[in-house]
């Protein structure tokens, strides 16, 4: 019996001894000090999706087996806002590795293989309890034990991927749940987008159709196109062209005879859209233009225009907006091998509204 007890004790001690910790980003010595910045995504948002990527240098290893993840708040700040605790209706944590060297705004395109879900369920947490530097790991419930250990191998040029998906965060914005992080420089830089031409109206006396865009017009990022006055509940397309001088129908712009409508671009691509009851097409995943992170696309131009089908609007039953002329900005090499790709309001969006060189402060427990 004594021999069996000793054996069990020895095995248990060996298992504990095998555990260790990895601190991300590795270049910042976060075991003993705080990172220099902070991030409000994902825990200050009601709904959010965020991918965090770390290259092998910022992980400090190429292969590791993880069974726990811990985050920490960004101190020192006073304890303000509602005291909590707060509940997220659902929190998902996924981990894995990708061979992708330069991520973009499309979440799926940043993965070379599926991620493993290591946490999925409701989550209750407390906000930042007050000032401490560095802030303790896991305080307020920021320790996440995995349902099963996950082994990750990072290939040359690839990244460790940690994805956090927050849904129904009842504490979003009510108190300080600002996480420790470090920002870098580089990545996509916004280009320019100007409006040219003039749209036509869906009815006599109605305002003309218009087009706008928001986001970053650059390689590695996404911009989101919106339209107005396109006809109530009208189906149509967002036309994307590489020229505003010449297209399949000849010289541009091409005016529709007997109307004030003009086609302004070469329309190599057409994305289906639908206007709402006010005639608007809202900026969102269906009108997202996600550009690959290819630096040589700097200065490339893209031309965008809405066309909708509105019976009785004119002899062609078509309404066309004015044109958005986009010139892509630069993609600069990152100063650190860390990325955050995120959408701040939609946990299920396939496209991010921000791509930043940022390293979320994370402690991984390894086996």
- DSSP calls for 303-359: EEEEEEE-TTSSTT-EEE--EEEEE---EE--SSSEEEEEESS-TT-SB-SEEE-EE
For position 1, what pLDDT does the model report?
42
Tokens 């260790």, located at residue: 20
User: 63-70 and 362-366 as β-strands: parallel, antiparallel, unpaired?
Assistant: antiparallel
Q: Any residues with CB less than 8 A from the CB of 5 and at least 6 apart, and which?
A: none
Per-residue model confidence as pLDDT tens digits over 106-129? 999 999 999 999 999 999 999 888
- CA distances 82 to 2, 39, 79, 176, 316, Å, are 54, 19, 9, 9, 58
Residue pair 115/161 in contact (Cβ under 8 Å)? The answer is yes
Question: What is the fold, at CATH topology level, of the domain defined by 192-331?
Answer: Immunoglobulin-like (2.60.40)
In angstroms, how far is the first alpha carbon of the chain from the final one? 29
Q: Is the pLDDT of residue 12 over 70?
A: no
Q: Mean pLDDT across the stretch 339-345?
A: 98
Is residue 240 classed exposed, middle or buried when 0-12, 13-18 and 19+ CB atoms within 10 A define those classes?
Answer: buried
Find how far residue 342's CA is from the centre of its chain.
2
pLDDT category, 7, cuts 50, 70, 90? very low
Neighbours of 127 (CB within 10 A): 23
pLDDT category, 281, cuts 50, 70, 90? very high
- Cα–Cα distance, 43 to 179 (Å, whole number): 8
CATH 2.60.40 positions along the chain are 192-331
Per-residue model confidence as pLDDT tens digits over 162-186? 999 999 999 888 878 899 999 999 9
Per-residue model confidence as pLDDT tens digits over 50-97? 999 999 999 999 999 999 999 999 977 777 788 889 999 999 999 999
Is residue 269 classed exposed, middle or buried when 0-12, 13-18 and 19+ CB atoms within 10 A define those classes?
Answer: middle
Whole-prediction pTM value? Answer: 0.92
Closest CA to 171 of 224, 118, 125: 125
Would you call 103 helix, strand, or coil by DSSP? coil
Cis bond leading into 129, ω under 30°? no
Per-residue model confidence as pLDDT tens digits over 182-210? 999 999 999 999 999 999 999 999 999 99
Q: Is the pLDDT of residue 11 over 60?
A: no
For position 127, what pLDDT does the model report?
87
Residue pair 228/206 in contact (Cβ under 8 Å)? The answer is no
Token pair listed for 358: 């940022």
Per-residue model confidence as pLDDT tens digits over 238-273? 999 999 999 999 999 999 999 999 999 999 999 999
Residue pair 293/155 in contact (Cβ under 8 Å)? The answer is no
**C-alpha triplet 44, 20, 359: angle, nearest 5°:** 35
Phi-psi region of 366 (alpha: psi -120 to 50; beta: other; left: phi over 0): beta
- Cα–Cα distance, 251 to 246 (Å, whole number): 4
Q: What is the mean pLDDT of the chain?
A: 93
pLDDT category, 18, cuts 50, 70, 90? low
Q: Is the pLDDT of residue 154 over 70?
A: yes
For position 229, what pLDDT does the model report?
99
Would you call 6 helix, strand, or coil by DSSP? helix
Find how far residue 199's CA is from the centre of its chain.
32
Q: Any residues with CB less than 8 A from the CB of 259 and at least 6 apart, and which?
A: 200, 314, 315, 316, 318
């Amino acid at each position: 019996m004594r021999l069996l007890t000793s054996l069990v004790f020895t095995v248990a001690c060996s298992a504990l001894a095998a555990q260790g910790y990895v601190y991300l980003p590795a270049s910042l010595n976060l075991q003993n000090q705080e990172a220099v910045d902070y991030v409000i995504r994902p825990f200050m948002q009601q709904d959010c999706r965020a991918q965090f990527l770390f290259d092998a240098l910022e992980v400090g290893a190429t292969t590791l087996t993880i069974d726990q993840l811990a985050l920490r708040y960004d101190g020192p700040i006073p304890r303000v806002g509602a005291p909590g605790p707060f509940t997220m209706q659902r929190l998902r944590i996924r981990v894995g590795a990708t061979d992708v060297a330069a991520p973009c705004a499309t979440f799926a395109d940043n993965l070379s293989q599926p991620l493993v879900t290591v946490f999925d369920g409701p989550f209750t947490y407390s906000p930042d309890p007050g000032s401490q530097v560095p802030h303790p790991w896991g305080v307020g419930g920021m320790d996440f034990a995995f349902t099963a250990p996950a082994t990750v191998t990072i290939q040359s040029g690839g990244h460790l991927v940690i994805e956090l998906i927050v849904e129904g965060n009842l504490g979003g914005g009510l108190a300080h749940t600002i996480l420790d992080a470090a920002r870098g420089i580089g990545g996509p830089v916004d280009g320019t987008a100007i409006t040219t031409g003039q749209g036509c109206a869906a009815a006599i006396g109605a305002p003309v159709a218009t087009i706008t865009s928001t986001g970053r017009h650059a390689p590695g990022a996404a911009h989101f196109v919106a339209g107005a006055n396109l006809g109530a509940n009208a189906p149509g397309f967002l036309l994307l062209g590489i020229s505003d001088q010449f297209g399949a129908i000849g010289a541009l712009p091409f005016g529709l005879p007997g109307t004030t409508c003009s086609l302004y671009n070469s329309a190599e691509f057409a994305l289906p859209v639908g206007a709402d009851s006010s005639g608007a097409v809202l900026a969102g995943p269906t009108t997202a233009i996600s550009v690959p992170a290819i630096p040589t696309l700097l200065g490339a131009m893209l031309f965008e225009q809405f066309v909708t089908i509105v019976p009785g609007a004119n002899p062609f039953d078509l309404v066309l907006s004015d044109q958005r002329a986009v010139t892509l900005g630069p993609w600069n090499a990152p100063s650190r091998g860390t990325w955050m790709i995120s959408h701040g309001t939609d946990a299920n969006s396939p496209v991010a509204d921000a791509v930043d060189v940022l390293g979320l402060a994370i402690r991984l427990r390894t086996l």
